[in-house]
Amino acid sequence: MVRRWARKWVNSRELPVSFRGCHGKTFSLYDNPAIRDELRSFVRSNKWAVNPEKLVEFSKAKMVPTAAAHYLEHITNFEIPEGLKKYMELELFPRIQLKSSKGISLATARRLLRREGFQFQKYKKSLYYDGHERPDVVADRQQRFLPEMAKYEEYLVEYIIGDVEHELWKMPNNFVERRLVLCAHDEMTAQANDDVGKGWIFDGAQPLWKKGAGRGLHQSDVICSTVGWLQEASHTLEYGKNYEGYWTGELFVKQVLVSLSSWSDSASSQYWQLKEKIIPAFERVHGAGFRMLLMVDNSQGHSAYAKDALLMSRMNMNPGGKQAHLWDGWFMHHGNKITQHMIFPQDHPEFPGMPKGMKYVLIGRGLWQDGLRVRCKDCTSNHCCAKQVLDHQPDFQAQKSLVEEVVESAGHRCIFLPKFHCELNFIEYFWGATKRYLRNNCNYTFSTLQANMPKALASVEVHTIRKWEHRMKRWMEHCKHFSMFYDKTL
């Protein structure tokens, strides 16, 4: 660099100007909640060009299967991304006054769609979800999920296979902890006109309905093998009347919450349900001898963090500016755990009351090196940049998501399912049975749906739920022994 400066001086009698602090932060469209919502509602509202005649043929199952598959592939891979691209460039960007120099590539549009779970799949009777074979998903399942489940196994209440009325007798070696009950949580939606067998599958779970499919119910429930459906934990949300165009429950919940408060609170309904309903309901039904092992899916809301959580991504390099006010961290020094404030004191001469930023946090830990950059394009070690150093600090590594914090602070445990592995959650069978009941008792009115929902949920017997739990465990065993079969990278 000194040579370069010298050369510049020799050639032009000028010294280079520093660009420090002049770089714009990189910005992903998807990081902006308002844009993300716009994109989601667009994607879900069928505004792309679809040949109507072909769609009719397809939906009446008149198209030759191979032709139908071909046509759908074309829609998914070209027409929808093309429509999304146009929408973003001609409508969304001008509206939010965003300039995109090169426009949006088809690949970007496809990536956004995939991120929204938008892939066409055959709607099969048995549960089937794509994405299993992705190497990161396989790794997460094999290296995190299954070992974590194995760790809990000796404490789990289980019933005998083939004799689900009787509990499996277990006496762990060190029986100090309370026994664990596996509780499965999930969300689903049901519409008053739920009687169709074909649809677009979104987020791996729910068929996608045409706009104006009517009012519906969004359910968030918990089941366990000891008592079955946890009625008191159940949470129902109505939708559809004033929110036409938003089809899926999850999106809807987010939409409503966004309109009511700020985006950062959108996960709050889940915590509210967790704190006010699920945990108390579990404790009332099971008593003090049991802890809950709550199984939740890996969706965005569930991996949300508290607004002052220790996350490097929310920090700047230097003090002050726009960055989160994090809670205290800690580090080890000569065997002592030392608390570190992430905000300078009010009487600090230079940065009173300001967030410290990465540099000063690292200085405080004796880890700062001159020239350390924020992050690398391709990291080479766990100390090549400030991001790596901080991410490997014990307090940052131990940062838990909000769901974990709420569950664990109440003395319970939770486990996140690997992505795309909804079939590992035995509550999927519960939804299947609930929906069957609703379909069989459907008269296409919303009031009937409302009246039927609690009956449908209560109609499933606990013995059936125990059998589903066994089915799920067979699945897990299968994953353990046949990981080679799935892992195509091997």
β-partners of residue 343 are 355
Pairing of β 216-224 and β 235-239 = antiparallel
Shortest distance (Å) from residue 374 CB to Zn ion: 9
Q: Which is nearer to Zn ion, 98 or 376 (CB)?
A: 376
Shortest distance (Å) from residue 70 CB to Zn ion: 45
Q: Which is nearer to Zn ion, 300 or 382 (CB)?
A: 382
Cβ atoms within 10 Å, residue 95: 9
Shortest distance (Å) from residue 312 CB to Zn ion: 11
Report d(CA 313, CA 212) in Å as an integer. 39
Name, in order, each residue with C-beta under 8 angstroms of 278's C-beta and a sequence gap of 6 or more: 183, 185, 222, 230, 233, 294
Shortest distance (Å) from residue 25 CB to Zn ion: 17
Shortest distance (Å) from residue 332 CB to Zn ion: 22
Shortest distance (Å) from residue 61 CB to Zn ion: 53
Instruction: List contacts with Zn ion (CB under 5 A).
Output: 376, 379, 384-385, 388
Give all strands (DSSP E) within 70-227, no chain letters. 159-160, 163-167, 179-191, 200-202, 206-208, 216-224
Q: Which is nearer to Zn ion, 25 or 62 (CB)?
A: 25
Shortest distance (Å) from residue 388 CB to Zn ion: 4
- Give the relative orientation of helices 462-481 and 146-153 as an angle to the nearest 10 degrees: 120
Tokens of residue 138, six digits: 């396989």
Q: Which is nearer to Zn ion, 392 or 455 (CB)?
A: 392
Instruction: Identify whether the C-beta of residue 351 lies closer than 8 Å to the C-beta of residue 320.
Output: yes
Q: Which is nearer to Zn ion, 212 or 371 (CB)?
A: 371
Percent of residues in the chain assigned helix, strand, coil, to nearest 5: 45, 15, 40
Q: Which is nearer to Zn ion, 156 or 374 (CB)?
A: 374
Report d(CA 199, CA 212) in Å as an integer. 15
Residue 332 in 3-state DSSP?
strand
Q: Which is nearer to Zn ion, 48 or 368 (CB)?
A: 368
